[in-house]
Chains A and B, each alone.
Chain A
Amino acid sequence: MFRPRPDAPAATVEVEVDGRTVRVPEGASAAAAVLLAGLASLRDTPVTGSARAPYCMMGVCFECLAEIDGVPNRQSCMIAALPGMRIRRQRGARDIDPEDVPDTIPSFPIPAPRSGGA
């Protein structure tokens, strides 16, 4: 459905979008690569499971969430496509296993708690 503008710089950056190889101009966003790949959608919403693809291309609608280089739920329209980037489908909410993440956070001073209202 989408094509690069005729005046766009040459497509030199090669990325992977859900298994397909796509070339985009330098500086293009990961979401642009998703649109050029011609996929009908790149994620399913967490609540109703409906299919979504990049929409506003300017960081406000969150429709463009994708797993990028192994990190889920990234806003692909706000991230520049880099050579070798892997942009993958995001299915529903992120699945995190708290027990899986090692407790490696550096210990910083404990900030004061709140006084306790809600």
Chain B
Amino acid sequence: MTQFDAIVIGGGLVGAAIGYGLVRDGLRVAIVDEGDIAFRASRGNFGLVWVQSKGLGAPHYQRWTRLSAEEWPALAAELGERTGISVGLEQPGGLQLCLGEEELEKRRAMMEQMRREAGNFGFEYRMLDRSELAGILPGLGASVAGASWTPYDGHANSLNLLHALHKGFGERGGTYLPGRTVIEAHAAPHDFRVEFAGETIVAPKIVLAAGLGNAKLAPLFGLLAPVRPQRGQILVTERTNRIWPLPLGSLRQTQEGTIMLGSSEEDVGFDTGQKPEIMRNIARRAVLCFPWIAELQIVRAWAALRVMPPDGLPIYDESEEFPGAFTANCHSGVTLAGAHANAFAPMVAAGALDPMMMPFSAKRFDVSAAA
């Protein structure tokens, strides 16, 4: 039997960021992670650190996302120093292009609502028209009517982020236990025991960060995480010279030069297959935005599953039945890495979630409690 201060189930971006934050705070931590057969959003995402569309009708989510974007530079710098891995963070702001006047007007209304809902916290945005955009983005397509801009957005190399978090975790003494699927656990207040074939680990704290696996794990700890898979497909072009000075929401150019075209939102269950009609629509939107993209070769394409809560907002919770058990679930684990490592992990280390996290509790899905 091995004793730790905290067990984290799941070694994707969410678990790795929290585990990294916990070892940095001096805890002895084990991350338990499934094998390579697992569904892993962390290895198939788009790499945006994206703020501008987060939290319509839910200003607490906009604030949490902004906090994360603000923590990102420190996290990126620290990981770079500690691990020698550059996570390629750039936060020059971001543009979301709109095709046609109708899309543009909808976007304008949405951004204005975000500003109103932000209240004194503030939400800086601007709508750019075609002519302004054409000055920034060469070869703009005729159907682009305009775009929304906020200064908060950015992008990064999310595979390097995952690698750096794992390396940083290990270098600070964290124990990574891959190839182990948690099916059963013994929960008691501040006393958790997880068993695999011939191995037992125990800790007074446990964090469920198993992505789609959380749906089954949460009830074992008196928690609720009704997440479902949402498929996203992505296309990637050959590398080119640097063309865009900033990420464009569903289009971005990586530091290495490839252009990523993304990404669909499909409810198809646990299916990571690709569909030609979806890929065609992704390519069509890209080519309507920038006709020259049609000249480029597509070199890779894939599908991955987002970890999607019923209302699209993250779920962060702590167990009332078994204090010491926490869970984190979200569909923007790249964007929220700063918050997970630098804000959520310290709350877990301190033993309780901050009151600011209350609106993220899964209690919001409990109809009897709401009545």
Q: Does A114 contact B (CB under 8 A)?
A: yes
Alpha-carbon distance A117/B52, docked complex (angstroms): 9
- Rounded to whole angstroms, the CA-CA distance of A117 and B41 in the bound complex is 14
- Other-chain contact of A73, B141, B297, B335 (Cβ < 8 Å): B297
User: Nearest A residue to B263 by beta-carbon distance?
Assistant: A114
Interface residue from A99, A100, A114 paired with B265 (Cβ < 8 Å): A114
Judge if B81 is at the interface, Cβ distance under 8 Å.
no
- In the complex, the answer to whether B53 meets A110 with C-beta atoms within 8 Å is no
Chain A residues with CB below 8 A from B139, complex form: 98-99, 101, 103
Asked whether B366 is an interface residue with its Cβ less than 8 Å from the other chain, the reply is no
Q: Out of A71, A96, A104, which one reaches B243, CB within 8 Å?
A: A96
Q: Which residues of A contact B295 (CB under 8 A)?
A: 96, 101
Residues of chain A within 8 A (CB-CB) of B243 are 96, 98
> Which of A104, A107, A113, A114 sits near B143, CB closer than 8 Å?
A107
Report if A74-B297 is in contact (Cβ < 8 Å); known contacts: A94-B241, A118-B53.
yes
> Helix, strand, loop or mixed for chain B's interface?
loop
Supposing A113-B99, A117-B265, A117-B312 touch, asked if A96 and B250 sit within 8 A by C-beta, the answer is no
The CA of A112 and the CA of B139, in the complex, are separated in Å by 22
Find chain A residues with CB under 8 A from B53 CB: 116-118
Chain B residues near A74: list those with CB within 8 A.
Answer: 297
Contact B100 A110 (CB under 8 A): yes
Q: Decide yes or no whether B240 CB sits under 8 A from chain A.
A: yes
A interface residues, how many (CB within 8 angstroms):
32
Residues on B with beta carbons closer than 8 Å to the beta carbon of A72 = 238
Contact B264 A98 (CB under 8 A): no
The interface centre, meaning the residue of B100, B103, B292, B294 with most chain A CB atoms within 10 A of its CB, is B292
Judging by beta carbons under 8 Å apart, are A118 and B332 in contact?
A: yes
The SS class assigned to the A binding surface is loop
| B257-A103 in contact (CB<8A) | no
- Is B334's CB under 8 angstroms from A113's CB? no
Q: Which of B270-312 contact A (CB under 8 A)?
A: 281-282, 284-285, 287-288, 290-292, 294-297, 299, 306, 312
Is residue A6 contacting chain B, with contact meaning CB distance below 8 A? Answer: no
CA of A12 to CA of B99 in the docked complex: distance in angstroms?
51
Does B256 sit at the interface, judged by CB under 8 A?
Answer: yes
Determine the chain B residues whose CB is within 8 A of the CB of A95 once the complex forms.
240-241
Evaluate whether A110 and B48 lie within 8 angstroms (CB atoms) in the complex, with A94-B239, A101-B292 already known: no
B54 at the interface (CB under 8 A from A): yes
A36 to chain B, nearest CB (A): 25
Q: Contact string, A78-118, partner B, CB cutoff 8 A, digits 1/0?
A: 00000000000000011111111111110110111111111
B291 touches A104 (CB 8 A): yes
Bound form: Cα–Cα A118–B307 in Å: 12
Choose from B50, B239, B294 the contact partner of A105 (Cβ within 8 Å): B294
User: For the complex, is B138 an interface residue (Cβ under 8 Å from A)?
Assistant: yes
Asked if B331 CB lies within 8 Å of chain A CBs, one says yes
Q: List 6 A-B contacts (CB under 8 A).
A: A65-B238, A72-B238, A108-B288, A113-B103, A114-B250, A116-B249
A-B pairs, top 4 by smallest CB distance, nearest first, are: A98-B139, A116-B53, A118-B50, A101-B292
- List 4 additional contacts besides A47-B257, A115-B265, A117-B312; criterion CB under 8 Å: A46-B256, A114-B264, A117-B265, A118-B249
- A-contacting residues of B (Cβ < 8 Å)? 46, 48, 50, 53-54, 56, 96, 98-100, 103, 110, 138-139, 141-143, 238-241, 243, 249-250, 256-257, 263-265, 281-282, 284-285, 287-288, 290-292, 294-297, 299, 306, 312, 331-332, 334-335
